[in-house]
């Protein structure tokens, strides 16, 4: 009887998020894989996101879904989609990221080529401005800058991952009024309406092809 009671949440979870039955996925994380949108079917390139959730961080599958939807919108002209291919938990020592050392350390063990690693944390301090927090960062491991990943704070809005993916696809910050890569405070256009401008798209396309060619990214042929 006790066994049945213990199994019940798993069975209920499996209806919503079948990954709960995958021994490689922690049950509490299963919905990040199953209840987030996969690559839109019209995309030629589908890139995997490997998520890592810090113990104590409060991002939810719905939060991640909103980040994905916005990234789909911005990367449509690049024919690129994204899909969550896995998630694991990382230790609470990374929930609050104070230092550059932590940003290096968080990805050091888990880095692999072919997918984009995305770390979900509670707090991400600005390492340049004491006391300030940032919402996301595209980080290069300082001892080997070919190894890079994205870190997202739970305080970020739905546009932050798309902005960091812009960096991952080779974009610096810019001065274009319509660009999501321009962080200068301005009312128009609103964050939701900011895009990659044509000059930026050109870079994204080049970087996309270069990363697919050298294996730092792989495209998934049959997203889940
Ligand atoms: Zn940036």
pLDDT at residue 5 in the model: 52
* 163 CA → ligand 1 middle, Å: 6
- Does domain 22-214 correspond to CATH entry 3.30.2090.10? no
Question: Could you give the maximum distance between any two Cα atoms of the chain, in Å?
Answer: 64
| Cα-to-centroid distance, 162 and ligand 1 (Å) | 10
Distance from Cα 74 to the centre of ligand 1, integer Å: 15
Q: What is the model's pLDDT at position 21?
A: 86
User: For the residues of the chain, what is the DSSP string, one character each?
Assistant: -HHHHHHHHHHHHHHH-GGGG-TTS-GGGHHHHHSS----TT-SEEEEEEEEEETT----HHHHHHHHHHHHHHHGGGTEEEEEEEEEEE-GGGTEE-SHHHHHHHHHTT--SBSEEEEEESEEB-SSSTT-B-SEEEEE-TT-TT-EEEEEETT--TTHHHHHHHHHTT------TTBTT--S--SSS-GGG-B--HHHHHHHHHHHHHHHHHTSB-B-SS--
Distance 174 CA to ligand 1 centre (A): 9
- How far, in Å, from the CA of 168 to the mean position of ligand 1? 10
Please give the distance, rounded to the nearest whole angstrom, from the Cα atom of residue 210 to the centre of ligand 1: 21
pLDDT score of 224: 56
Residue 23 CA to ligand 1 center (angstroms) comes to 36
Q: What is the model's pLDDT at position 23? A: 84
pLDDT at 9: 52
Structure confidence at residue 28 (pLDDT):
79
What local confidence, expressed as pLDDT, does residue 124 receive?
Answer: 98
Ligand 1 centroid – CA 216 distance (Å): 21
Cα(134) to ligand 1 centroid in Å equals 10
Q: What is the mean pLDDT of each run of 10 residues along the chain (224 residues)?
A: 53 73 82 94 97 95 97 98 94 96 94 97 96 97 96 97 98 98 96 97 98 96 61
Q: Which pLDDT does position 196 carry in this prediction?
A: 98
* CA 160 to ligand 1 center in whole angstroms: 9
Model ipTM value: 1.00
Instruction: Kindly list the domain boundaries of the chain, sorted by start residue.
Output: 22-214
């Amino acid at each position: 009887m006790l066994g049945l009671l213990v199994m019940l949440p798993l069975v209920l979870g499996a209806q919503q998020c079948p990954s709960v039955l995958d021994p490689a996925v922690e049950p509490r994380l299963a919905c990040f894989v199953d209840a987030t949108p996969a690559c839109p079917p019209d995309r030629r390139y589908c890139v995997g996101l490997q998520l890592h959730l810090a113990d104590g961080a409060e991002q939810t599958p719905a939060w991640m879904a909103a980040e994905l939807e916005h990234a789909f919108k911005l990367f449509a002209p690049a024919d690129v989609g994204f899909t969550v291919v896995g998630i694991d938990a990382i230790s609470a020592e990374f929930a609050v990221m104070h230092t550059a050392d932590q940003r290096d350390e968080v990805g050091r063990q888990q880095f692999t080529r072919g997918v984009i690693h995305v770390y979900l944390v509670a707090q991400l301090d600005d390492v340049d401005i004491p006391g300030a927090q940032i919402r996301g960062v595209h980080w290069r491991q300082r001892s080997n800058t070919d190894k890079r990943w994205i870190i997202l704070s739970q305080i970020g809005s739905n546009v932050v991952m798309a902005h960091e993916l812009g960096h991952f696809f080779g974009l610096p910050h810019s001065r274009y009024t319509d660009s999501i890569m321009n962080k200068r405070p301005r009312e128009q256009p609103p964050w939701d309406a900011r895009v990659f401008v044509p000059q930026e798209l050109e870079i994204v396309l080049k970087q996309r092809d270069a990363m697919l060619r050298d294996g730092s990214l792989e495209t998934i042929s049959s997203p889940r």
